[in-house]
Structure 1
Amino acid sequence: CLEQDGRSVEARECYERAVARLTWPPGPELRRAAAPFGARPAADRRFVGRNAELARLDQVLPAARDGRPILVTGPAGVGKTSLVRQWTARCGDAYFPDGVLRAELRGFDPDGPREPAEVLGEFLTALGEAPDALPAEPEDRARRYRELIAGRRMLVVLDDAASPEQLVPLLPDPPATDSEPAPVAIVTSRSRLRHLLVRTGGVPLPLGGLGPDEA
């Protein structure tokens, strides 16, 4: 309806928000409806450079499938979120056929970061749990969330994280065996998250400004 009303930008944003909450990739009807405004979600045509960083994300994927979160860190405005979105749009269907969960954690919002329990509630609802049947306790929500995503080739994007304490309840469990499929977690943050690196063996990907040629 938004697209037919000439509101293509709003249509694309609405589609991308919906797809981010799906357990599975969008079906053919939704993809056909989104075709006029190029939503897959589509890669951003304004995105330039970062070829080395995109290649690095490809390289560290095997380690991430072993339960080690990818930590994309850097100052505000450097392009952490854009990098992750570009990589997901480019390879998400192939690497993560079971879907993508994405949460904006608002780690450095003036009103304070989001509570993990709130994010877990959104994830559980997106995974098919009835909103009125969600566990009340944060620990129970985290346990149920990990049960639902275990063994799935999914991507969990945790954007703008504040601290390890905010992140730990949202991280998937490592795979039970070497051959079991496992979700991948990718985190963006202004913080270096050193304690999380030590605790989880996370894969760091610090992001600086664009070089002169890319800029």
Structure 2
Amino acid sequence: MGCGLNAPAPYPAEFYDRPVLAVAPELLGATVWHGPVAVRITEVEAYGGLDDPASHAFRGATPRAAVMFGPPGRAYVYLSYGVHWCLNIVCGPVDQAAAVLVRSGEVTTGIAAVRARWPHLADRDLARGPGRLGRVLGVGGELTGTAVTGGGALDVAGPSPVSEPRSAIRRGPRVGINAAADRPWRFWLDGEPTVSGPGRRRRPPG
């Protein structure tokens, strides 16, 4: 992990071995690292398994979705529309096949290199949306199955669960899907300009 000696330790596997709706909001404010780039998570979506028609695991342990069936604390990275790599983290007991999609965040480390590659984007837009977040982190399908609990290519760390005040967390329907779109399984930090889905509010001046 490139976050230095005094950085918080990565969340252990036990953190993810809980219901996905408990884990998802507690990832807000945490930081995901890959190489020299770190992104503070500001928006996530929860996906269930065999009981969630919007989940890749809905049809069982296909080759694509097999990693979702466990163990928890592993990355599930898939290609969306043949263009964007999207980062998910497997949650819950083995065989439940739940995962949290990391939708948006704020680049906090490595921003100079990221800005050099995409100079036309404002800082708030660099990792705004799951495709851009995956792009700035440089994740790809080869990371599927990688543990995010320390010692690997990906790490997720935060001050402590919950790393943001409960009053700052908002909840609403998932976006960009057709099946089970009414489930309020999207969570985001109120007032964060990096949030990609509906409900984003501008921070007041000052």
Q: Which has the higher helix share?
A: 1
State the structure with more CA Rg: 1
- Fold in common (TM above 0.5): no
Interval containing the TM-score (normalised by the shorter chain): under 0.3
What's the TM-score, normalizing by structure 2? 0.25
What's the TM-score, normalizing by structure 1? 0.24
